[in-house]
Structure 1
């Protein structure tokens, strides 16, 4: 009679579940706490916790997006170690392989054991959640089915990746390291390269773009999956549009879970191929697969070259060899070569489990050093044109520019129209064109202050989400860069200032804004000559509306933003007022949470004035805000007054970002008068 070959051993399956019941039992207990908590709330409140079934679906999807990947990442590794841990001990390997079970039987049985241990806690949590949903009357089968399928896909993928890593390594410590490296190496490598590019490229700031983030599934799923909830719109008697009941709930990009599940099947096949050829003697080794050892050795060397090289350069070379804001190629290449060689020997020691790894390593060390230098020189040469990149206006959805002047600022604006975007791009091009001259000023150490241009490019759909550029422009006592003049023109541009001042109460500044209503205002830092103190004044809705219109006229005339890039501190202090106009708004916003509700939020914008803002100053006088008892003081006039009252000469620098103080209290060393400066006595008294 022919014997049958079994690919599944029920005895071993039951043994695995019985041995590791604290693992899946403890996970089940923790998972059950959430539905039990909801049940306790339901009993305590005596009413449904959610308004309808679709709200429950939204909660299911939120858990699938944020909780399931993170939990499966950690719990999958624990379950894989539980069922495959015997591979890391030579005696256990010999015992298991002496059992009357084929390798196929061991693989299939352990695989099903691990998947069962992963699914049991989800099944317990899901069953209790269904019971609570039924009790609350919010059970929704479609959303529940989608969530179950998503949980199955995530569970299978994460356990498959853990199983593959099990057969790559030979001890549990290496498994833990390799497993998390497997899931996050791509994102970490991209971040390392971006940091190195930042060191070499003028204006390029390190920013993780997520180009290869799909190779880091936990990060990618959390970012790409989302919940879209459509609500019924209700017109309220006061004219506001409110959100009614939920009409539909959709899991956006849910198909990605199925893609990762298919990838998990491929990884599982690779794990079986490795197990078929795995040597029993590999237990205890860091890397159990022979052909993967060079990959491990040179992979560690590569990461060490970039990360360690950058660290060595910062500690020992930057202050000595670097003359500008960008790194010097030769010192960086040497540091990367040294760090790469150290990483090569560290990896060799881990593989050999010995410190005697120097004999016969000359070729590997030389290759590592040459590769590190080549990578450094390649990135420094910038063959991709990253540093000189100026996008076309048609490529961009929007640009956010932040201008930090020598004395004033910041001014922040987000522009979406092509004409406005092009003005910002012209300013960027002007800065890049003077790159070498600006670096020479930085290297000479003659600059006395700095202006800054920070850009955030939002590319159109189908491209990377955002690109960042940060430019520092040194300002010396000599001839000023042409880029400074271009930035000054941009700062006073009407479209730029409109967005900078009113951006928080417009749709361009707040994508979830439905309506903005002016409700009033306030004017502070009005000087009272009689009491010699500062006071504020509340504005009526009519007064606030008049000032808002005047501010917009000044914006269109190019009167705002003219003080930001003034080079002379004396000129700035004579032009900039201490006065701040605050305009208050009530904003109806749409919630970005799972229920997409609308709500009202108060917002206040603060507007700084200068002597150039003629329309606004005239409106303040016409409204009676400015009169004989309430005066405006520029920074120069204020400090002349304080110096006169305190009798203390100024010995430091004035901070243009500080707010004026109420009352007549003056701190020693804080008041000053410019040489030759005269203050209008009629203004002060």
Structure 2
């Protein structure tokens, strides 16, 4: 007969003897906790004070240690919160100790409160002691920061108690001491894990799905405590440049205001977890001690949750490593089969026997059918996700990334924010063309075609696979993303002006796109507009006749001359021509020589601090870049170009003497 679950009729709400017993019996936990905190905060300050820093550097070191300690509260809290929870509520995992303690004249609420307060003492007393020692160490060093230390004390106590409350909450649902850390770890990462599984499954089943949509969402972060707390306690350090006295000042600040948000999260969520844990404890059946799951309605949740999560994880691993060539239906079948296996395993753990097929096959069969329907429906795109394209007049901005092109210089990777209506319409037309060739993209992903298919008999590239990511900011405020990892680009498609490949090559060769590719940094663009960006050095590189890499340094004067020439060619559209294939046209237009220029310009930060901005610009010399070629001639560097052809008077025509290695 199940035991009664109501509270004991005794009037005790707190047991001082049990509290003292907890403090003395489990002293290694709070003692080690205090030792860890001592060596991570006050000891670091004491050591810094003994290194003979000047006052400014000492203050910087002390502040750095306290900020680091605040950020590290999560790592300490995760470990010691679990240890305290396991120790103080371990009596619920053993029939003998459970019966003994619940025979005492104290209510269940009293047992719970006494152990909970014991956990509070485990953390509050050491935290307070370490805070006082830290203040004393700072005062002796002449670098007192009481406000920052107070934030550390509040954050450390709140975070440690939060994870202790989470461990207690998990302890109420299990009667097995070894299951507690497993449940605790699962609860900590459950939301992120489910988000990752959803991302992986949908990225496998839907062409164009961006794999990080769920796992990186704000909702998942809020329900993943370590993730959320590390986010709230993250800080950054910025340095002002050296002044005339060669002093650099570090400024630190929390990225999300103050630790108050993290403390509030811990207090509110920790209070909710504590209340729920107490309610479950009041209704707990004591004879469940030793069971993996002690709450009746949680048992099927555990069984089928393990089936779904384990099935999707193992199914994904098997598919990606062994069966990916069989197509996405193989992934769906593997996931369903693995889910059934894990569901039976979960039932075996709950029943403590291997004989679970006779009474468990129906539920497992329903689970398999549900997964087949859900994943199969996604695979068949019942909701039209893959076929969706926006209307150009509904798009405010589109960001285009990927579209790798040759030559392999600073303009190889596209990352454009496009607002021009004509260019937006061109992007939408490219997207529509991709949607019409979903089958081709799926074949390319599954085929892993042989590299020999990329080139023709003369060694020119005729086929490749590209990557394209589109992020639309819609007029209604939505952000819609599509990611295509296997976009086929063929020489035949590039001859058709209406193909997505031809449209894409035309798009990345728009003058504003070429400029953005080479001068992508906003600070550099602003410096160029202001005329303050100056070349301070650089180098010219190519290969010799034996294929060896050569690098020729440029003086500041040479770099300035070439920078001026490059800007002239860029404005005139004579340099930066992009090619999606390393084909005959690319061979005819591009030298196998790159120039890298190091640029610098004065910059002013938001706080008024002055610094020097810097960046490198790398570009391949092309036969059409007349200003750059003329500058090389004037500088006496024309002979350093990789000699691959001759120039005809009727225009620039390069006749290759031999095939150079592609960059």
TM-score relative to the length of structure 2 = 0.81
Partners of 1:574 and 1:636 within 8 A in 2: no
Q: State the 1:78 CA deviation.
A: 0.3
* 1:573 is the counterpart of 2:580: no
Q: State the 1:589 CA deviation.
A: 7.8
Task: Summarize deviations over 1:97-129 as a string: whole Å, max 9, x none.
Answer: 122322122111100111211334433332222
Alpha-carbon distance in 1 for matches of 2:477, 2:154: 30
Q: Which residue, out of 424, 434, 439, partners 1:431?
A: 434
1:363 is matched with 362
Partners of 2:232 and 2:255 within 8 A in 1: no
Alpha-carbon distance in 2 for matches of 1:69, 1:636: 66
2:373 is matched with 374
2:500 is matched with 483
Partners of 2:493 and 2:502 within 8 A in 1: no
Alpha-carbon distance in 2 for matches of 1:172, 1:588: 62
SS in 1 for 2:598: strand
Q: Which moved more, 1:500-509 or 1:517-526?
A: 500-509
Q: Which moved more, 1:357-366 or 1:570-579?
A: 570-579
Alpha-carbon distance in 2 for matches of 1:280, 1:314: 45
1:222 is matched with 230
SS in 1 for 2:520: helix
SS in 2 for 1:181: helix
2:331 is matched with 332
* 1:28 is the counterpart of 2:31: no
Alpha-carbon distance in 1 for matches of 2:508, 2:395: 23
Query: Which blocks of at least 5 consecutive residues in structure 2 are unaligned?
Result: 1-8, 455-462, 648-653
Partners of 1:203 and 1:472 within 8 A in 2: no
Is the alpha carbon distance of 1:630 and 1:82 closer, same or farther for their aligned partners in structure 2, counting shifts above 3 Å? closer
1:343 is matched with 342
Task: Show the 5 A alignment for 1:499-648.
Answer: 499-504=516-521, 506=523, 517-525=534-542, 537-566=552-581, 568=583, 570-586=584-600, 603-626=615-638, 629-634=639-644
Equivalent residues, number: 623
* 1:119 is the counterpart of 2:129: no
Task: Summarize deviations over 1:604-653 as a string: whole Å, max 9, x none.
Answer: 33211222333322332244332xx5444249999977x7xxxxxx9xxx
1:404 is matched with 404
Partners of 1:550 and 1:619 within 8 A in 2: yes
1:172 is matched with 177
Alpha-carbon distance in 1 for matches of 2:74, 2:399: 33
Partners of 1:20 and 1:82 within 8 A in 2: yes
Q: Which residue, out of 12, 32, 43, partners 2:18?
A: 12
Cα RMSD (Å):
4.3
Q: Which moved more, 1:630-639 or 1:198-207?
A: 630-639
Q: State the 1:205 CA deviation.
A: 4.6
Is the alpha carbon distance of 1:398 and 1:255 closer, same or farther for their aligned partners in structure 2, counting shifts above 3 Å? farther
SS in 1 for 2:178: helix
SS in 2 for 1:612: coil
Q: State the 1:29 CA deviation.
A: 1.4
1:37 is matched with 44
Q: State the 1:548 CA deviation.
A: 1.9
Task: Show the 5 A alignment for 1:281-296.
Answer: 281-296=287-302
Q: Which moved more, 1:484-493 or 1:191-200?
A: 484-493
Alpha-carbon distance in 1 for matches of 2:542, 2:534: 25
Task: Show the 5 A alignment for 1:153-302.
Answer: 153-207=158-212, 208-211=215-218, 212-227=220-235, 252=257, 254-302=260-308
Q: State the 1:386 CA deviation.
A: 4.4
SS in 2 for 1:373: helix
Q: State the 1:5 CA deviation.
A: 2.8
TM-score relative to the length of structure 1 = 0.79
Partners of 1:499 and 1:509 within 8 A in 2: no
Alpha-carbon distance in 2 for matches of 1:442, 1:265: 49
Partners of 1:226 and 1:252 within 8 A in 2: no
Q: State the 1:485 CA deviation.
A: 0.9
Q: Which moved more, 1:18-27 or 1:595-604?
A: 595-604
SS in 2 for 1:378: helix
Q: State the 1:402 CA deviation.
A: 2.5
Q: Which moved more, 1:441-450 or 1:498-507?
A: 441-450
Is the alpha carbon distance of 1:98 and 1:397 closer, same or farther for their aligned partners in structure 2, counting shifts above 3 Å? farther
Q: State the 1:541 CA deviation.
A: 3.3
Q: State the 1:493 CA deviation.
A: 2.2
Q: State the 1:75 CA deviation.
A: 0.9
